[in-house]
Structure 1
Amino acid sequence: MQQINTTKPGFSWLLKMAWRDGKASKRKLLLFMASIVLGIAAVVSIQSFGENLQDNIALQSKSLMGADYTIDINHPPSERVTEIMDSLGIDSREISFTSMAAFPNKTGTKFVSVRGIDGGFPFYGEFETTPKSAGIDYQDQNGALVDATVMLQLDLAVGDSIKIGEITLPILGKLTQAPGSSSLFGAIAPPVIIPYKFIEQTGLIQTGSRINYDYYFVADRNTDLKLLDEKIDPQLDKEDADLDTHLSTSERLGRRYENFGKFLNLVAFIALLLGCVGIASAINIYIKEKLKSVAVLKCLGASRKQSFLIFLIQVAFIGLLSGILGSILGVILQYAFPVILEGLLPVEIALSISGRVIFAGIILGVLMSVLFALYPLVGTLYVSPLQVLRVQENTGSKSRKELLGISVLIILFLFLFSFWLLRNWQYSLSFIGGVLVTFAILAGVAKVFMNLIRKFFPDSWSFVSRQSLRNLFRPQNQTLILILAIGIGTFLISTLYFSKDLLLAQATLENNNTSANMILLDVQTNQTKNIAETIESQDLPVLEDIPIVTMRVQNINGRSVNEIREDSTSTINGWILSHEFRVTYRDSLIASESIENGEWIPESKNSPLIPISVSTNFAEDAKVKVGDKVTFNVQGVLMNTEIASTRLVDWGRMQTNFSIVFPKGILEQAPQFHVMTTQVPDAKKSAEIQQILVSNYPNVSILDLRQVLSIIEGLLDKIGWIINFMAFFSILTGIIVLLGAVRTSKYQRIKESVLLRTIGAKSSQILKIAALEYIYLGVLGSLSGILLSLISSLLLAWLAFETTFIPSWVPFGVLFPGITLLVLIIGLANSRSVIKNPPLQVLRRESI
């Protein structure tokens, strides 16, 4: 007698079944895969590029600084600072300031950053010059290194001369790269390097001049730079000096580009979340179609666990494949970032493939697929074998504990992933909370809509209109799923678009034909009258003549600066205690200011407490309010003041704004210098007035805002392009998700459409029914998503960007009709096979 093999099917059988079923349904899963691939690609490309940027900054931090650590101060070092530096052993020193440079035998002038250096600086990296020897010999040859761009603009050559203040030096080389120079500031004030010994001879070290003193050090091999920073920096802070190590420079640069990275990470998270929506909607409908297959498996003896695992393995494999494809696409995409970000990065990026990020992307693909498929997959556990014989599908009751557990896992996954990207648990919680509230509202809208149609059903309407409405609330309807998919997709796309507009609005400069476009800095009091006459003689207006007095905070509400520094519990920002404030006096507000609290005092003479106005950021950082007392040290003279008002200052406007403003009648006799502004019509007039002023007043620095604005606007245009590019990337993902959600709904509409055609419905009627149904869904889902995004963007502008939110018409005028039309087109495309082929042929093909 032959023995019957009763061994239960093993894992290999589950794999074969999952493969066979997936292979037969591959067309239905392509869009499902596409949404995962794009989401993973965004994450992998952004994370991999971010790691490369941080690694390159860390590796090149010494070359960026030129030394192991520096001490910098914006006034001559005190005796205590000198003692500390002598104990450390100064290896090189520098004095730097901005000034106008003239070029004998040339017609141009240029606002430059003059750097007087001695010693062997840079100790890491080098001055990249043409010829190369110039970067090494310039001190011995008593010449200057001039920024290569300036030499190109003014048609200068090696051997020409440069005049800075009272000295004229030969140009020994073109300077293309210099450690310690900021690329952005270098675009506005290009560097000119001269020997240290000529600084005093320029005659430009005067009252009001902004002079920086830098001292460079090379550390011993055994020096712990972090310990040195912790020990020495607090002592230097008391003397208004600062110590920076190349490690802190690396960290600071990393933080500077971290904010930009946060926006990119937010885009990646939105792209991935859209992918999750696509997975949830596609798998939900896909699994519903497989319920009869599950019932057949159970009739043949498969257990609940086996039938569940077949589809779980299928989904996990799709997630694995999507994760691999998305990671490959992400690696390719990251190579576009250095090109896109050219000019915005502090270092040259040597790209490498991050195995950790790729592995994370693959795992992410599997986790996304499995977690967001678990909810519909749980339904397979409760399918009865009798489902094969039932006409109406019945998935049975699902366990609330299982569904609650899956929901907790999904929320936890989203929170951990957003925290990994955003590095801020408050932002992560807020974002997840907002998404959950949006889901709840959209689900509520769908439920209310279905109940209202059922309650107030228009029985008098035509057959086509009634049938399209009944499809929205009949058994196995797709209203909730599609409104959630369309609504959340539109919500994320619209929120990203509104946020993009907020960012781009902040990345713009105000410029008009009546505002100042030339600023004269460091004008001495005895020069103001003559300079004003010179400007007016050229038929140009003197728009502003602003007196400036330098001062420091002496005490706040009776507590001295030193006492506050030593108080470890103090929350007053350190810059308030060490900053040299440039203060003005006037009797009225300017266009960029508005009073937030208190009263503006235009003039004061004999008051024991001088009423002043401070900006809101000063009040916040100094922890003061209206009525508080602040004593200032004005070059040895103490002035007791009382805060009479706080002003909201728009620092983004190209205007001379001040943190502290005194009333008239107080500072007129204090040592001061002036800033004057004018408006020049064109480049020719700008060059003429600069030539006259530089030759007669070499101490005056002239900032031509026409050049600066063109430089900054170029950078802002690049930033805007990046924001638009990343927004488009997520919008494309959202469209893929909508395609997937509506496309997969096709497989639930086939039988109803075939039955209608079988009982005599015309093709035109079936198309009209489908068209009306998808129009209802598209309008309701997209309009709900846009309205919710309007609220979320308003909160984002108020809480995160701290700016006024002016809604764009694009989401309403383009996204709303565009998404509705897209849903309609895909929906009608779903019905094409029903119209073109006989009903029996359609049923046979769709059941395969």
Structure 2
Amino acid sequence: MSAFAGQNRPAALQQFRLATRFAFREMRGGLRGFVIFLACIALGVGAIGAVNSVSTMMNQGIEREGRAILGGDLRFALEQRQASAEELAFLKSLGAVSETIEMRSMARLPDGSDQSLSEVKAVDDAYPLYGSMETKPAGPLTDLLAERNGRFGAVAAEELFSRLGLSPGATIRIGDAEFELRGVITHEPDLLSGGLAFAPRLVVSQEALASTGLVQPGSLVQYAYKVRLAPGTDAARATADAKSRFPEAGWSIRSFENAAPSLQRNIERFSQFLTLVGLTALIVGGVGIANAVNAYLDSKRLVIATLKSLGASGRFIVTLYLIQILSLAALGIAIGLVLAAIAPFATARFLESVIPVGAEASIYPGALALAAVFGLLTALVFALLPLGRTRDVPATALFRDASAGMARMRWVYLATSVGLALIVAALALLIADDRRVAAIFLIAIAAAFVILRVVALGIQWAARRAPRVSSTPLRLAIGNIHRPGALTSSVVLSLGLGLTLLVTIAIIDYDLRQEIGTSIAERAPNFFFVDIQAAEIDAFKAKIGELAPEGRLAAVPMLRGRITKLNGEDVSTMKVPPEGAWVLRGDRGITYSATLPENATVTEGEWWSKDHAGGPLVSFSAEEGHALGLKLGDTVTVNVLGRDVTAKIANFRAVEWQSLSINFVMVFSPDAFAGAPHAWLATLSMPNASAEEEKTLLNAVTNAFPAVTTVRVKDALDAINQLIAQLALAIRAAAAVALVASVLVLSGALAAGNRGRIHDAVVLKTLGATRRTLIRAYSTEYLILGAATALFAIAAGALAAWFVVSRIMALPYRFDASVATVTLVAALVLTVGFGLLGTWRILGQRAAPFLREL
């Protein structure tokens, strides 16, 4: 052992080898006391690795099938107009072209007794350029859609057959034409290229669509031109040529490398959120890591004292036990990586049924490496703190006192731990899609740790100053809360974060459901009517007045346009914050009005006069306008029907999007679109209308105006609720991981405190305390700690939910009392249950072996 003393720098390697040999010799005794340590690391690493592996699998599936998903190498989309002869000639010069036409329309039974909203897609003979359209029964698509006996064919999604109670061979009406449903669509290769679909797909030929009479000037219809590039043609160069040759075409251009941007964006955002939740679980588990390391070092106090007495330096002690901890951390990380590697294989088939993308499961080294780095860094952050306190404890103190391991820590260990924590935070920000949200999340976690520590100190302070009580169990419980080595900090930290996260998610979920299912449903109109032709608007109003005399109809002109420039700068080159970026993506609904809309309030500037003719003006939604950095007098250029219209911002107005009434980001002065063909958009509110009355009106409107698309708001809200329920299930599952980590940490903290509890119990029993008295004392202690932790979790979770709901989502905040009750009960069950489980074993120990050590 003399080799421990007097070593110089060249002997550092020899010392490290010696420490390694000692470390692995000690580990031969098994992993007792480190089960929680391993579980906490494995759980956090597994959650982060699984989320990122599945996300990578889905994104790679989209990239792999990019051409089939997009329908070509390039996709040129135009709103409300077909490509001109010159534009079409240019596209054909690039390679093979397939044109599809998409719009929404009502598919109705021939007798007019029922109908369903459908996403109509008209295809040409070249469709599809990539992939294949699969139907049941199978057959060439051109044959299935061909005209037979004066009636065109159609194929539709299974959902449309279910809604109308039909089977292949049945007849439906679309606009002015009848169609024979000849097959069920089992696979549509480019389903995702057009974005999220709100109704079942119905595919017809372009000749058939022309016979319906649905496509009129101003109709909301999209023309998409999919191009299979000729060999040697570069997609980027072709895109640049299209923009330079046709600067006012107004088309949206995408390549197969960006086939489904909306879906990929949502996958990345959801993955980011779940990664942060997994990181929270890992950080919560970090408390368990610190407890396990502290308890392990406490159990090794005699070994450490012996080594120091024989000349071992503090650095040698830290190296020895750091090697052990890193070895165990590597084992925990390996277990987590195995779980993460299995996740894509376990979820691939399920995800394919939800998202029509081929998910080929594999092992994703990048996702696993990221999870491993998070796990290793987190283990080091929490392990260095107890290790640093062990270095300078003198051997005599270790022999004399079991609690002597708590010495003043050298600043280098604390600084290293803080530095590693900052690296973890920086890494989380680096991989985040929305760094603002990630930063808020990380700051909240850090603040929660500090606040939970303050809460624990506050509970101990209150217990220390509590008046003396006559009840022995209560007096013992209060004493246990504030005595040296108390479990207070461990219990509050372990349960606090997990419960807070669950409370936050539960309240947000409750508020969303209340707002969509109750508040919005009460304020929203009953129907939206789209594509009302200008020549039919007066007749339409008259018909609604006849069908719903008590109803309130609102109608406005509507066009589609895409913002191309802000203050003369191309928006494709601008960097804008995420909260305003959605306005610049794709086409927006726009309108014009001589007067201020009823549901709007001007917040800046003034509305134009009714007879304004001094050049195009625009009223911009205040929240979105400020997010884009716009101010009064700035200019906005919008491409409508292939023509750029530049308008000056005259005012900003507040818009209540939650009302689902007619709202637009941009409202223009009437002179901006003088003479432009357009349709009308209308809403109908029917207070207290029954489902039967709504159905009667829907049938009558559809039969009288077959070209008008009617959307029943209740159906749309039901679809949104189902989507929220699916997202909430995934989020709750991720949050449950954090709670499981909390429970593991709690059980580990209670187990780590058992040694001191055995000592106390033996002494108290020797002095005459009964088992019943001790059980009551410990139960009371756990009740107090559980209740205090639950109250903090309820308060912190409610505050976090308020911030998300009120500030980020801009929705009314409501507190759900049932969440508070469930949280309180869960905290008490966990603390008292785990506490009494360990206490029962403690009280069963014989006194003699422990008394001999006193």
Report the TM range for the smaller structure's normalisation. Answer: 0.7 to 0.9
Q: Write the distance in 1 (CA, Å) between the matches of 2:89 and 2:690.
A: 52
User: Aligned in 2, Cα 1:167/1:816: closer, same or farther, shift over 3 Å?
Assistant: closer
Q: 2:128 aligns with which of 109, 118, 122?
A: 122
User: Aligned in 2, Cα 1:287/1:575: closer, same or farther, shift over 3 Å?
Assistant: closer
Residues 1:723 and 2:728 are matched in the alignment: no
Question: Paired residue for 1:88?
Answer: 94
Q: Secondary structure at the match of 1:188?
A: coil
User: Aligned in 2, Cα 1:316/1:144: closer, same or farther, shift over 3 Å?
Assistant: same
Q: Write the distance in 1 (CA, Å) between the matches of 2:122 and 2:637.
A: 36
Q: 1:520 aligns with which of 507, 529, 539?
A: 529
Q: Deviations over 1:657-715 (max 9, x none)?
A: 22344799999998654334447866766665555544443332233445444444333
Question: Paired residue for 2:156?
Answer: 147
Kindly indicate whether the alpha-carbon contact (under 8 Å) linking 1:507 and 1:720 is maintained by their aligned counterparts in 2: no
Q: Write the distance in 2 (CA, Å) between the matches of 1:722 and 1:320.
A: 28
Kindly indicate whether the alpha-carbon contact (under 8 Å) linking 2:250 and 2:641 is maintained by their aligned counterparts in 1: no
Question: Paired residue for 1:352?
Answer: 362
**Once the 2 structures are TM-superposed, how far is the Cα of residue 53 of structure 1 from its aligned partner?**
0.7
Q: Write the distance in 2 (CA, Å) between the matches of 1:799 and 1:690.
A: 38
Q: Secondary structure at the match of 2:72?
A: coil
In the alignment, structure 2 segments of 5+ residues that lack a partner are: 6-13
Q: 1:193 aligns with which of 203, 206, 213?
A: 203
Task: State how 1:433-582 maps to structure 2 within 5 Å.
Answer: 433-451=443-461, 454=464, 456=465, 458=467, 464-501=473-510, 512=521, 516-535=525-544, 537-538=546-547, 542-550=551-559, 563-565=568-570, 581-582=589-590
Residues 1:137 and 2:143 are matched in the alignment: yes
Kindly indicate whether the alpha-carbon contact (under 8 Å) linking 1:508 and 1:716 is maintained by their aligned counterparts in 2: no
**Once the 2 structures are TM-superposed, how far is the Cα of residue 198 of structure 1 from its aligned partner?**
4.1
**Once the 2 structures are TM-superposed, how far is the Cα of residue 544 of structure 1 from its aligned partner?**
1.2
Q: Write the distance in 2 (CA, Å) between the matches of 1:444 and 1:589.
A: 52
**Once the 2 structures are TM-superposed, how far is the Cα of residue 43 of structure 1 from its aligned partner?**
1.5
Q: Write the distance in 2 (CA, Å) between the matches of 1:425 and 1:556.
A: 26
Q: Write the distance in 1 (CA, Å) between the matches of 2:350 and 2:799.
A: 32
**Once the 2 structures are TM-superposed, how far is the Cα of residue 264 of structure 1 from its aligned partner?**
1.7
Letter paired with 1:734:
S
User: Aligned in 2, Cα 1:330/1:669: closer, same or farther, shift over 3 Å?
Assistant: closer
User: Aligned in 2, Cα 1:393/1:100: closer, same or farther, shift over 3 Å?
Assistant: closer
Q: Deviations over 1:729-751 (max 9, x none)?
A: 32232222222223322222221
Q: Write the distance in 1 (CA, Å) between the matches of 2:330 and 2:535.
A: 76
Q: Write the distance in 2 (CA, Å) between the matches of 1:589 and 1:314.
A: 70
Q: Deviations over 1:611-636 (max 9, x none)?
A: 86432255347754456677999999
Deviates more, 1:212-221 or 1:100-109: 100-109
Question: Paired residue for 2:10?
Answer: none
User: Aligned in 2, Cα 1:577/1:800: closer, same or farther, shift over 3 Å?
Assistant: closer
Q: Deviations over 1:733-786 (max 9, x none)?
A: 222222222332222222122222223333334334433443443344443344
Residues 1:380 and 2:390 are matched in the alignment: yes
Question: Paired residue for 2:835?
Answer: 827
User: Aligned in 2, Cα 1:97/1:466: closer, same or farther, shift over 3 Å?
Assistant: closer
**Once the 2 structures are TM-superposed, how far is the Cα of residue 246 of structure 1 from its aligned partner?**
0.9
Question: Paired residue for 1:269?
Answer: 279
Question: Paired residue for 1:33?
Answer: 38
Q: Secondary structure at the match of 1:67?
A: coil
Task: State how 1:346-745 maps to structure 2 within 5 Å.
Answer: 346-358=356-368, 360-361=370-371, 364-387=374-397, 389-391=399-401, 393-395=403-405, 397-419=407-429, 422-423=432-433, 425-451=435-461, 454=464, 456=465, 458=467, 464-501=473-510, 512=521, 516-535=525-544, 537-538=546-547, 542-550=551-559, 563-565=568-570, 581-583=589-591, 585=593, 593=600, 595-597=602-604, 604-605=610-611, 613-617=619-623, 619-620=625-626, 623-626=629-632, 645-661=651-667, 673-678=679-684, 689-690=697-698, 692-745=700-753
Q: Write the distance in 2 (CA, Å) between the matches of 1:155 and 1:424.
A: 44
Question: Paired residue for 1:63?
Answer: 68
TM-score (norm 2): 0.84
**Once the 2 structures are TM-superposed, how far is the Cα of residue 240 of structure 1 from its aligned partner?**
0.7
Q: Secondary structure at the match of 1:435?
A: helix
Residues 1:319 and 2:319 are matched in the alignment: no
Q: Write the distance in 2 (CA, Å) between the matches of 1:14 and 1:236.
A: 75
Question: Paired residue for 2:56?
Answer: 51
**Once the 2 structures are TM-superposed, how far is the Cα of residue 274 of structure 1 from its aligned partner?**
1.5
Q: Write the distance in 1 (CA, Å) between the matches of 2:787 and 2:563.
A: 63
Q: Secondary structure at the match of 2:363?
A: coil
Kindly indicate whether the alpha-carbon contact (under 8 Å) linking 1:612 and 1:661 is maintained by their aligned counterparts in 2: yes
Question: Paired residue for 1:784?
Answer: 792
Q: Secondary structure at the match of 2:362?
A: coil
Q: Write the distance in 2 (CA, Å) between the matches of 1:121 and 1:389.
A: 83
TM-score (norm 1): 0.84
User: Aligned in 2, Cα 1:144/1:484: closer, same or farther, shift over 3 Å?
Assistant: same
**Once the 2 structures are TM-superposed, how far is the Cα of residue 59 of structure 1 from its aligned partner?**
0.9
Deviates more, 1:528-537 or 1:117-126: 528-537
Letter paired with 1:521:
V
Q: Secondary structure at the match of 1:54?
A: helix
In the alignment, structure 1 segments of 5+ residues that lack a partner are: none
Letter paired with 1:387:
A
Q: Secondary structure at the match of 1:92?
A: strand
Q: Secondary structure at the match of 2:123?
A: strand
Q: Write the distance in 2 (CA, Å) between the matches of 1:824 and 1:581.
A: 58
Question: Paired residue for 1:288?
Answer: 298
Kindly indicate whether the alpha-carbon contact (under 8 Å) linking 2:619 and 2:653 is maintained by their aligned counterparts in 1: yes
Q: Secondary structure at the match of 1:822?
A: helix
Q: Write the distance in 2 (CA, Å) between the matches of 1:606 and 1:12.
A: 85
Question: Paired residue for 2:213?
Answer: 203
Q: Write the distance in 1 (CA, Å) between the matches of 2:598 and 2:827.
A: 46
Q: Secondary structure at the match of 1:91?
A: strand
Q: Write the distance in 2 (CA, Å) between the matches of 1:431 and 1:694.
A: 49
Kindly indicate whether the alpha-carbon contact (under 8 Å) linking 1:576 and 1:622 is maintained by their aligned counterparts in 2: no
**Once the 2 structures are TM-superposed, how far is the Cα of residue 823 of structure 1 from its aligned partner?**
2.0
Task: State how 1:338-349 maps to structure 2 within 5 Å.
Answer: 338=348, 344-349=354-359
Deviates more, 1:225-234 or 1:266-275: 225-234
Kindly indicate whether the alpha-carbon contact (under 8 Å) linking 1:532 and 1:542 is maintained by their aligned counterparts in 2: no
Question: Paired residue for 1:72?
Answer: 77
User: Aligned in 2, Cα 1:136/1:611: closer, same or farther, shift over 3 Å?
Assistant: closer
Q: Secondary structure at the match of 1:675?
A: strand
Kindly indicate whether the alpha-carbon contact (under 8 Å) linking 1:17 and 1:310 is maintained by their aligned counterparts in 2: no
User: Aligned in 2, Cα 1:497/1:339: closer, same or farther, shift over 3 Å?
Assistant: farther
Deviates more, 1:82-91 or 1:684-693: 684-693
Q: Secondary structure at the match of 2:101?
A: strand
Q: Deviations over 1:185-244 (max 9, x none)?
A: 786333333333344443332232112222221113433323433453465553211221
Question: RMSD of the alignment, in Å?
Answer: 4.4
Q: What is the percentage of aligned positions where both structures have the same residue?
A: 23
User: Aligned in 2, Cα 1:459/1:613: closer, same or farther, shift over 3 Å?
Assistant: same
**Once the 2 structures are TM-superposed, how far is the Cα of residue 48 of structure 1 from its aligned partner?**
1.3
Letter paired with 1:87:
S
Question: Paired residue for 2:26?
Answer: 18
Q: Secondary structure at the match of 1:321?
A: helix
Deviates more, 1:378-387 or 1:545-554: 545-554
Deviates more, 1:67-76 or 1:655-664: 655-664
Q: Write the distance in 2 (CA, Å) between the matches of 1:824 and 1:244.
A: 59
Kindly indicate whether the alpha-carbon contact (under 8 Å) linking 2:390 and 2:407 is maintained by their aligned counterparts in 1: no
User: Aligned in 2, Cα 1:840/1:550: closer, same or farther, shift over 3 Å?
Assistant: same
**Once the 2 structures are TM-superposed, how far is the Cα of residue 261 of structure 1 from its aligned partner?**
1.7
Task: State how 1:108-119 maps to structure 2 within 5 Å.
Answer: 108-119=114-125
Deviates more, 1:76-85 or 1:624-633: 624-633
**Once the 2 structures are TM-superposed, how far is the Cα of residue 83 of structure 1 from its aligned partner?**
5.2
Letter paired with 2:741:
T
Letter paired with 1:173:
G
